[in-house]
Amino acid sequence: MGLFTGKKGIIMGVANEYSIAAAVAEFLHKEGATIGFNHLPDKEGRDRMLKRVHRVADPLGATFIRPCDVANDDDIKAFFAQVKEEFGQLDFFVHSIAYAPIDDIRCETIDCTRDGFKIAMDISVYSFIATARAASKLMKEGGSIVTMTYFGGEKVVGGYNLMGVCKSALESATKYLAYDLGPKGIRVNAVSAGPVKTLAASAVGDFTQMLGLNAAVSPIGRNITGEEVGKSTAFLLSDLASATTGEILHVDLGYNIMGSPGHAIERAGIKFSSTRAEKT
């Protein structure tokens, strides 16, 4: 019997088989979960996003895949009405959605536009509040909600720019939702994953440099895998974390604890004197 045998939940935000949400879905499925998915409606009618989600859902035997644009309240209402009809009630919900217009995320934060800021906050933060509200109404006997964040919401990470501001707001929203939903026995947490090569990550500055820096500075000396994010997310969604809510769980091999480059200095062969750094 798996950790999630008999459990039902929804994962929103699968972009393709390489996304963090896909890794979470795969691990939950291995542990016995029944999972439903959304896909972004294709305005051109070619169902490109639906096909991408099918590549993740089909191997898992998932049959519930419905359109939902989280920027549209009517879409959210219709989606969760279908969820209720299909599943009755939910045990868990995963929100893995973030977006900012490409020009507004690649420019310096000080140069982002008003419209870009509004869109980024709406999709990356308010969508969590709106979908968590809808999902929580289907959690009759408690439940667990998890969203995805990144260290750039806590400290400045070069190239993360506007999305870092959004993640900071998302982490605050996580704590407030944990407070709001606590009386209903619903836990709300966030996973702060280290950098993983995904479609969304490709929009962020010099992502290759970010990967290299994380591997060099983290105490373990490598980058995380999607499977590791899946396992950590499953922990927060499961009864194993029954006393954990309002937390930001770092899954970054310790990168977040570092106040200096640490072992990266040794690996690069750099020595410091009182006045300068020299490479040996």
Q: Which residues are annotated as catalytic?
A: 150, 160
Q: How far is it, in rounded angstroms, from Cα 57 to Cα 52? A: 9
- Tokens standing for residue 228: 């590791």
Would strands 186-193 and 143-149 be described as parallel, antiparallel, or unpaired?
parallel
CB 224 within 8 Å of CB 191: no
DSSP state of 142: B
Q: How far apart are CA 262 and CA 268, in angstroms?
A: 11
- Strands (DSSP E) contained in 91-194 are 92-95, 143-149, 186-193
Q: Write the burial class of residue 275 (CB in 10 Å: 0-12 exposed, 13-18 middle, 19+ buried).
A: exposed
CB distance 194 to 218 below 8 Å = yes
